[in-house]
Structure 1
Amino acid sequence: MTVISTRSAAFMIDNLLSSSVNSKKKIIETEFASQTPDNYINNNRRKRKSWTCDVCGKMFDRPSLLSRHTRTHTGEKPHVCSTCGKAFSTSSSLNTHCRIHSGEKPHSCEVCGKRFTASSNLYYHRMTHTKKKPHKCSYCEKTFATPGDLRGHTHIHQGTWPFRCHQCSKGFSKQTNLKNHLLTHTGRKDHKCDICGKLFSLHCNLKSHQKLHRNMQNIHEQDEPTSTTNDITPNQFFSNKFSVDLLQLFSSVRSYS
């Protein structure tokens, strides 16, 4: 019977352990080397996406995201505005909505300075400066800056307006537009111009009207003499003459109205 010393036994155990670790390391390295970077990323993503929607089969890597997604099927809106009672499916949507009441507009356009309550509104507003309209209608040649504008336009071709006036059957893509339209049937004109006293049923029409006053005021200020005739260039002379003619025309139209 062969007797093995304690030192020899420890040496043999160390060799066995090291060989086992090295073999496992080689297996891992071989598997990793056989995977392309894209396959490795995709495999990891598949492992993370373990929560699946029972309705549409969409997968999520967090249960909170699945819970929020499920509300798109159930219509649940647990987040309610304490000011007006409007409900939302997510807390972020509620926070954005509350800025309408508080007047907070944290997102500012770096080009014109216009401010917005939501970052998505700022994103689409920036396209008005670039003039890009990547969203093209599949029925005609018209293009639009935002997918929302395209969806609203598509109702014209499909006749699938989500909101319709019960009096004239005119269709609208947004409920707010329908509410504004209904005011035209009531005859109410609650918005008054503080310059000329003209009444309007919609606030947006009043704002457009007030821009006319401001433009005419700017024309009047530009036409005030700031230099001698000898200092005026031909282009400035014709520009000022056009402004005076336009102002006289506007005044004559107002006198007959």
Structure 2
Amino acid sequence: MTAEEPALTPQDSLEAFAALAAHQLGEAIALMRGAAAVLELQHGGAGAGAGEQDALRALNAGGERAQRYVDDLLDVARAATEPDGPAPSADLDLAFDAAAAELESFLSRVPVHVQREPLPRAALESREAQRLFLHLLRSALAAGATRLGLTGRTAGDGVVVELFDNGTPPEADSDPPAQAAAGPFEPFARPRGRGALVGAGVSLSVCRRLVERRGGSIAMQVRADGATIVTVHLPAAAP
């Protein structure tokens, strides 16, 4: 390292490792899922025994979960990059629909009621907004939520988006609410629940990075009735 080169921080090293691990694991998972597809064609028909069918289902489920971990690691690396170019403008309604479409296979199997209000535009790229909603939804669904509420409004020069869910609340402790709410947003934090969508424990961390890189903020609180609320403050899109 020369005198002109900045020293790498532990966070830089973590992000570099996440990117490398995601690439290597992605190749291994692609080979595994390809082999599973071949086996399913050869042995997954009506003539397959119960044991063979169970093994194929377990192999496919393991591949899906491993792929979620890889996607999480990639999002950690992507969210660490600094934004460039002119201020973006994202349609948050379209971004939420795209995120929900990514989770369609899960939502089709689990009864989840979603109540939405129209959302304003915000100073995010469309892909950023989609990843933001994807990770917010995954965090709630991994906590076992069956009811979700989404509201949005403009507030001065900003936008406020709130996601309500009835999943398992974050673990309560004796710290003040502001300190307790910071924990779930740390990288690889313990997930709120152990549902089918639990990944690498980075969903809320990615959300925080996506929001803060655009000058916004994110917080979590638990209401007296047990509902968890994630509040996101974002700059409003330029006219």
Higher helix share: 1
* TM-score, length-scaled by structure 2: 0.22
* TM-score, length-scaled by structure 1: 0.21
Higher relative contact order (CA 8 A, sep 6+): 2
Higher strand share: 2
Larger Rg: 1
